[in-house]
Amino acid sequence: FVGDVVSMYLRHPAVAVRKEAALTCCLLMLPAGTSGDARSGRGRHGTPLRFGHGSASGRVVGEVLSLLLRAAVADASPEVRHCVVRALDSRYDPYLCQAHHLSTLFLLLQDGAFPIRVLALELLARLAMLNPAYVMPPARQLLV
């Protein structure tokens, strides 16, 4: 549902619709109280969640996450960009710490809106704990 229906509204002309679509995608992909990591995530009834990166649902999460990151970097509205970056909480860390997503996240450090740059830096600092080999070298280059 999220990949086929909700994500198409990320390209809607109205800012309010794009913002709500981004929030809806983030809330429905990995509901609160879950984790993207199949090893630690548990459902309501204690059953393990199957969001591993190789599973079908893991691929859908990865695809929608790519769309969300594209909106976070390229949307014309800073309000939408801010909303997307703020919504990417620790549930998404197992996906965001992958190299292909990290390169997109580093683009957020060049955003024209200062609050978005701050959120991006906080997000990258959190991801550095999971994948320091891909986060630290570009961070060093940026800071030096």
pLDDT digits (tens, 9 = 90+) for 69-95: 999 999 999 999 999 999 999 999 999
Residue 46 pLDDT class (50, 70, 90 cuts):
very low
Alpha-helical (H) ranges within 75-113 are 78-87, 93-96, 99-107
Specify the pLDDT at position 32: 66
Place of tokens 């080999």: 133
pLDDT at 58 over 80: no
What is the per-residue pLDDT across 92-141, written as a single tens digit (0 to 9) for each?
A: 999 999 989 999 999 999 999 999 999 999 999 999 999 999 999 998 88
Specify the pLDDT at position 83: 95
Q: Which long-range contacts (CB under 8 A, 24 or more apart) does 6-12 make?
A: 7/64, 7/67, 10/67, 10/68, 10/71
Q: What is the pTM of this model?
A: 0.79
Backbone φ and ψ of 54, nearest 5°: -90, -10
CA-to-CA dists, residue 69 to 47, 53, 101, 121, 131, angstroms: 30, 17, 8, 15, 18
Specify the pLDDT at position 19: 95
In the chain, the largest separation of any two C-alpha atoms, in whole Å, equals 49
Residue 7 pLDDT class (50, 70, 90 cuts):
confident
What is the rounded average pLDDT of the residues 38-52? 41
